[in-house]
């Protein structure tokens, strides 16, 4: 009976699809040769090498593994030093060579010689001697014990090391030690190297579809065609890509992970829907490492090319290539993103990485360009036009949807029901409400015919949600759709989207009291300016506006929370959302409109940043089908406000998902936070550019809830950046525009006015009136600006009071950059003088010097600062300094008061 052994610990999944290559390696070794495993990035060279070495380890042979590192490619003899340094330790650990004294002495001499030669220039004779010594030592090792040398990524080694290793491989007959190596294939234009000449190549082709399927089986990926097909397509037989995409997209929740990405276009012959899987850092580093360093024009062209591949029509790809000059593609080819022989991705995963690195606005622009480049009637033209959002005109949108429906019909007849279903989902996105449900029902039928029942179920549920009767009145089960329309329109802020939402909410007669309540709530949410009085009454409990909401999918607390948020009652909104979560965690429909995300928004506004960060982290962990834009935006906003080191990475992650049309609220929040971060760092022109983007070219706000609150910060940035005219124009426009009559917006306008006033004392008092502390960041900024003005006017003792309060608030919030700026301003007031700090304003501060007296008398006589400077032959800056001292000593604030105070002192 054979002895039993304990089960071996679970290791990596077995190597699949490489049996032929492993058999070829074994045959080469048996024939006395040295195999070189050659394959592109991600083809599994290292895995094949390890699998080929395993029989040698099982037989107890000494295996010496080496890895040539890319950074060492220019370091002389780096791999040789690694070899001769590893040989002694390997020999000491193996029983057959542990006591081989002669071998250890030879290794010691070789180690010293290799280090000496690597540390300085050596001639050809020295290299030949070193090569011979290495071969001799390897031969002595081979006589003592069966041994194998394994060199991974030999093409990364320096030329001298490659020569030495090639000599060892060539001396296989003398040493008895085989050398297994791996390398990437050489470019056609590269000259032949010893790597190509000394080994027998074993190329690694792409995995067959069957082998790739076995890899997915080994990983535990469900046999769902809607999940597997995109993985197989984008992996293109590359094992690394296949495993990474599967782990990123299909292992946690195969039913939802592959459904979250943008769709692939129509292509005859494929019977399943195709989405864009999400990539990983490892894949981006392997295939598009130089993407971020490419010129902007090249990156935009790559987005165009990646989206052209959606429709898989050669005419579309040709149109994308012709749209850009050849010089635009060259940097991408040099970086390895594209093939060297023309604009085509070196690997399909490169297209995924490019799209993930792009913003939604860039993708929409590219879709529009592709639609414009294609002739009328081309099946992909309607696809790209719809993917760009479709036309605003309802008739044109209906025509585009009909064209897509025709394309879907042709695809279904051609035997591609999955692709046809996907085209119909895009048609549903641009068609009117009456036809949307019809498209989704047909898409669900085709998805089931394609063998994807889970997708069919989701489409059927969407169709039921969008079901509208003939007169356009929502059905009894369509309350969720009404809530979603209102929520998405509020998040969008785009006039066209708001117009469509108002037409639906105001349109037809209401079927039930619940519909009436939801419509009324939606109208109030989308028009907080016109319905401010009614909202205030609802929040005060003086109206039955929302009583019927108790029978709808949204709770009364959540509905009131939304109205509190749009009218700047962030504290009340936070309390209401917290209450809604305690009672029922149901989400308020809308893109990024779940109650947890809205609660985070309110918490950030009220300065509870730690709690907001904790809730955001939880939302990011629990997001079921990809992260919501609102959560990513909140994470980026907090990182910017706290000046975190990785803030730029969070900004980029959020910006990729945001567009002005769909996510105006979140885009405005992100721009506002970027402007605040730049201002805190003293980059005022940059801050002004970020904040200026909060208003569209026609002067309308990107999102009304955010832009009005940014007025004072935009004024401050323009002033600090040397643009006072723009600052004044912005404040004038803000005062003229109808806005929510909230206390907070009054504080903002007072603060903006103080920035532009020569005597802002009264405006500062209004901006810091009781109640302003409910918005602690803006309150502390106002204190800082008050302290800056007082210090500039030589009222240092008075300036310290608001500056200390500002520092305290910034530190409590965690706004480290703002706290640093406030501390610098406080330090500029000079050492603290407790008596002076307590002195009442206007009480005087001692006698005047003769020069201060002269400056004050001339100013009292009506001379300007430049005239005084010319009369006394001093600079205008010195005049200002003397005049400020005189103001403080005399206890006055204006020039008109100087004459009387000077007479009293005479």
Nearest to 673 by CA among 632, 730, 623, 621: 632
Tell me which residue has tokens 């394994």.
Answer: 150
Cα–Cα distance for residue pair 324/340, rounded to 1 Å = 16
Measure Cα distances from 847 to 833, 835, 844, 891 in Å: 18, 17, 9, 11
Local confidence band at 547 (pLDDT 50, 70, 90 cut-offs)? low
Tell me which residue has tokens 């004072």.
Answer: 712
753 has a pLDDT exceeding 90? yes
Distance between start and end Cα atoms, the chain: 121
Q: Which residues contact 321 (CB under 8 A, 6 or more apart)?
A: 305, 329, 342, 343
Specify the pLDDT at position 123. 62
Q: Which residues contact 62 (CB under 8 A, 6 or more apart)?
A: 90, 91, 94, 96, 97, 141, 145, 146, 147, 148
| Helix residue spans in 119-158 (DSSP H) | 124-144
Nearest to 576 by CA among 263, 885, 567: 567
Q: Please report, to the nearest 10 degrees, the dihedral formed by the alpha carbons of residues 530, 534, 536, 538 taken in order.
A: -140
Measure Cα distances from 708 to 491, 565, 677, 718, 774 in Å: 16, 14, 18, 16, 17
Tokens of 147: 């041994």
Is 421:443 a contact under the CB 8 Å cutoff? yes
516 has a pLDDT exceeding 50? yes
CB atoms within 10 A of CB 168: 25
Q: What is the DSSP letter of 478?
A: G
Nearest to 883 by CA among 869, 870, 871: 869
Tell me which residue has tokens 């399927």.
Answer: 213
Helix, strand, or coil (residue 766): helix
Average of per-residue pLDDT across 623-649: 80
CB atoms within 10 A of CB 771: 12
Specify the pLDDT at position 748. 93
785 has a pLDDT exceeding 60? yes
Tokens of 399: 């025509």
476 has a pLDDT exceeding 70? no
Tokens of 497: 């989207």
Q: Please report, to the nearest 10 degrees, the dihedral formed by the alpha carbons of residues 169, 172, 174, 176 taken in order.
A: 120
Tokens of 232: 């197989």
pLDDT digit string (tens) for 313-329? 565 566 666 666 667 87
Local confidence band at 115 (pLDDT 50, 70, 90 cut-offs)? low
Strand partners, 200: 35
Which has more confidence, 221 or 30? Answer: 30
Cα–Cα distance for residue pair 206/241, rounded to 1 Å = 11
DSSP string, 561-622: HHHHHHTT-HHHHHHHHHHHHHH--PPPPSTT--HHHHHHHHHHHTT-HHHHHHHHHHHHHH
Specify the pLDDT at position 433. 66
522 has a pLDDT exceeding 80? yes
Which has more confidence, 662 or 704? Answer: 704
pLDDT digit string (tens) for 251-260? 643 333 333 3
Strand partners, 715: none
Average of per-residue pLDDT across 284-310: 83
Tell me which residue has tokens 């000449």.
Answer: 197
Specify the pLDDT at position 426. 84
Specify the pLDDT at position 716. 94
Q: Which residues contact 608 (CB under 8 A, 6 or more apart)?
A: 574
Helix, strand, or coil (residue 80): helix
Cα–Cα distance for residue pair 563/815, rounded to 1 Å = 28
Which region among 575-579, 631-635, 650-654, 808-812 has the lowest average model confidence (pLDDT)? 650-654
Strands 200-203 and 35-38: parallel
Strand order in the sheet with 62-67: 62-67, 147-152, 179-183, 35-38, 200-203
Average of per-residue pLDDT across 788-808: 89
Nearest to 665 by CA among 698, 629, 689, 700: 629
Specify the pLDDT at position 114. 65
Nearest 5 degrees, angle CA 736-CA 741-CA 742?
Answer: 125
Helix, strand, or coil (residue 432): coil
pLDDT digit string (tens) for 3-62? 333 333 334 456 788 889 999 999 999 988 899 999 988 888 989 999 999 999 888 888
Nearest to 437 by CA among 468, 401, 406: 468
Q: What is the DSSP letter of 345?
A: B
CB atoms within 10 A of CB 9: 5
Strands 179-183 and 62-67: unpaired
Most confident of 192-196, 433-437, 769-773, 891-895: 769-773
For 406, list phi and psi in degrees, rounded to 5: -65, -40
Tokens of 658: 């945001």
Is 59:29 a contact under the CB 8 Å cutoff? no
85 has a pLDDT exceeding 80? no
For 276, list phi and psi in degrees, rounded to 5: -95, 105
Cα–Cα distance for residue pair 234/240, rounded to 1 Å = 11
Strand partners, 180: 150
**Averaged confidence pLDDT in the chain:** 78
Specify the pLDDT at position 586. 44
Specify the pLDDT at position 205. 92
Name the percent of the chain lying above pLDDT 90: 16
Q: Which residues contact 205 (CB under 8 A, 6 or more apart)?
A: 237
Cα–Cα distance for residue pair 522/486, rounded to 1 Å = 5
Cα–Cα distance for residue pair 175/173, rounded to 1 Å = 6
pLDDT digit string (tens) for 592-626? 347 888 899 999 999 999 899 998 888 887 764 44
Which has more confidence, 20 or 519? Answer: 20
pLDDT digit string (tens) for 88-109? 777 777 777 766 767 767 777 7
265 has a pLDDT exceeding 90? no
> How large is the C-alpha radius of gyration of the chain?
36
Q: Which residues contact 345 (CB under 8 A, 6 or more apart)?
A: 305, 306, 309, 337, 338, 339, 351, 354
Local confidence band at 732 (pLDDT 50, 70, 90 cut-offs)? very high
Nearest to 406 by CA among 430, 382, 370: 382
Specify the pLDDT at position 258. 32
Cα–Cα distance for residue pair 6/511, rounded to 1 Å = 70
Strand partners, 201: 36
Is 397:430 a contact under the CB 8 Å cutoff? yes
Which region among 332-341, 521-530, 558-567 has the lowest average model confidence (pLDDT)? 332-341
Specify the pLDDT at position 311. 67
Local confidence band at 729 (pLDDT 50, 70, 90 cut-offs)? very high
Q: What is the DSSP letter of 695?
A: B
């Amino acid at each position: 009976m054979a002895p039993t052994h304990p089960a071996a610990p679970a290791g990596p999944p077995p190597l699949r699809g490489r049996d032929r290559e492993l058999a070829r390696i074994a045959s080469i070794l048996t024939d006395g040769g040295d195999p070189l495993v050659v394959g592109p990035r991600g083809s599994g060279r290292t895995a094949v090498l390890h699998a080929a070495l395993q029989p040698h380890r099982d037989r107890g042979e000494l295996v010496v593994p080496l890895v040539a590192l890319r950074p060492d490619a220019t370091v002389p003899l780096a791999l040789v030093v690694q070899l001769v340094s590893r040989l002694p330790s390997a020999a000491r650990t193996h029983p057959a060579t542990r006591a081989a004294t002669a071998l250890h002495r030879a290794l010691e001499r070789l180690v010293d010689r290799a280090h000496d030669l690597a540390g300085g220039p050596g001639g050809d004779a020295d290299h030949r001697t070193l090569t011979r010594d290495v071969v001799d030592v390897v031969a002595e090792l081979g006589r003592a014990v069966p041994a194998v040398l394994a060199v991974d990524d030999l093409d990364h080694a320096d030329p001298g090391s490659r020569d030495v290793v090639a000599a060892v491989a060539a001396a296989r007959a003398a040493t008895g030690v085989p050398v297994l190596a791996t390398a990437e294939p050489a470019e056609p234009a590269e000259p032949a190297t010893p790597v190509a000449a000394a080994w027998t190549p074993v190329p690694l082709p792409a995995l067959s579809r069957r082998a790739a399927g076995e890899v997915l089986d080994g990983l535990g990926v469900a046999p769902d065609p809607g999940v597997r097909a995109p993985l197989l397509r984008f992996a293109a037989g590359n094992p690394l890509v296949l495993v990474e995409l599967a782990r990123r997209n299909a292992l946690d929740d195969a039913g939802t992970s592959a459904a979250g990405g943008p769709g692939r276009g129509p292509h005859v012959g494929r019977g399943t829907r195709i989405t864009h899987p999400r990539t990983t850092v490892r894949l981006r580093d392997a295939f598009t490492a130089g993407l971020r360093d490419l010129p902007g024009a090249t990156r935009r062209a790559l987005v165009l090319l990646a989206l052209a591949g959606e429709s898989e029509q050669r005419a579309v790809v040709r149109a994308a290539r012709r749209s850009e000059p050849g010089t635009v593609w060259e940097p991408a080819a040099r970086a390895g993103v594209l093939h060297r022989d023309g604009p085509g991705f070196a690997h399909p995963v490169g297209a995924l990485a490019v799209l993930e690195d792009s913003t939604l606005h860039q993708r929409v622009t590219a879709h529009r360009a592709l639609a414009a480049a294609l002739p009328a009637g081309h099946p992909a033209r309607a696809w790209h036009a719809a993917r760009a959002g479709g036309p605003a005109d309802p008739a044109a949108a209906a025509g585009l949807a009909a064209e897509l429906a025709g394309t879907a019909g042709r695809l279904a007849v051609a035997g591609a029901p999955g692709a046809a279903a996907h085209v119909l989902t895009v048609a549903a996105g641009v068609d009117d409400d009456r036809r949307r449900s019809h498209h989704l029902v047909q898409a669900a039928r085709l998805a089931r015919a394609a063998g994807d029942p889970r997708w069919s179920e989701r489409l059927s549920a969407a169709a039921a949600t969008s079901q509208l009767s003939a007169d356009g009145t929502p059905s009894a089960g369509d309350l969720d759709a009404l809530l979603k329309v209102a929520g998405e329109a509020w998040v969008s802020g785009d006039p066209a989207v708001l117009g469509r939402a108002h037409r639906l909410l105001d349109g037809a007669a209401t079927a039930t009291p619940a519909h009436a309540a939801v419509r009324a709530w939606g109208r109030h949410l989308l028009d907080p300016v016109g319905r401010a009085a009614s909202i205030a009454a609802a929040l005060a409990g003086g109206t039955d506006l929302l009583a019927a909401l108790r029978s709808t999918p949204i709770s009364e607390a959540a509905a009131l929370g939304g109205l509190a948020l749009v009218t700047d009652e962030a504290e009340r909104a936070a309390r209401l959302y917290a209450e809604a979560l305690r009672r029922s965690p149901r989400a308020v429909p809308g893109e990024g409109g779940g109650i947890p995300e809205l609660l985070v928004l309110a918490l950030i506004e009220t300065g509870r940043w730690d709690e907001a960060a904790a809730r955001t982290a939880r939302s990011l962990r629990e997001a079921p089908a990809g992260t919501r834009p609102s959560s990513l935006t909140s994470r980026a906003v907090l990182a910017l406000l706290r000046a975190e080191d990785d803030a730029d990475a969070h900004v980029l992650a959020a910006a990729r998902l945001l567009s002005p049309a769909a996510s105006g609220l979140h885009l405005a929040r992100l721009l506002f936070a970027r402007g605040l971060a730049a201002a805190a760092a003293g980059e005022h022109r940059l801050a002004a550019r970020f904040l200026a983007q909060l208003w569209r070219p026609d002067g309308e706000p990107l999102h009304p809830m955010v832009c009005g609150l940014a007025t004072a910060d935009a004024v401050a940035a323009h002033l600090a950046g040397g643009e006072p005219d723009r600052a004044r124009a912005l404040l004038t426009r803000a005062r003229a525009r109808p806005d929510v009559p909230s206390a907070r917006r009054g504080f903002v306008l007072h603060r903006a006015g103080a920035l532009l006033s020569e005597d802002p004392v009264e405006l500062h008092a209004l901006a810091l009136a009781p109640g302003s502390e409910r918005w602690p960041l803006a309150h502390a900024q106002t204190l800082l600006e008050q302290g800056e003005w007082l210090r500039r006017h030589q009222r240092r003792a008075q300036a310290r009071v608001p500056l200390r309060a500002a520092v305290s608030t910034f530190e409590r919030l965690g706004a480290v950059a703002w706290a640093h700026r406030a501390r610098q301003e406080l330090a500029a007031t000079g050492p603290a003088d407790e008596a002076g700090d307590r002195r009442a304003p206007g009480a005087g501060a001692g006698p005047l010097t003769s020069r201060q007296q002269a400056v004050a008398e001339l100013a009292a006589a009506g001379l300007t600062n430049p005239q005084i400077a010319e009369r006394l032959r001093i600079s205008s800056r010195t005049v200002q300094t003397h005049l400020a001292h005189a103001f403080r000593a005399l206890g006055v604030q204006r020039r008109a008061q100087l004459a009387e105070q000077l007479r009293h002192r005479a």
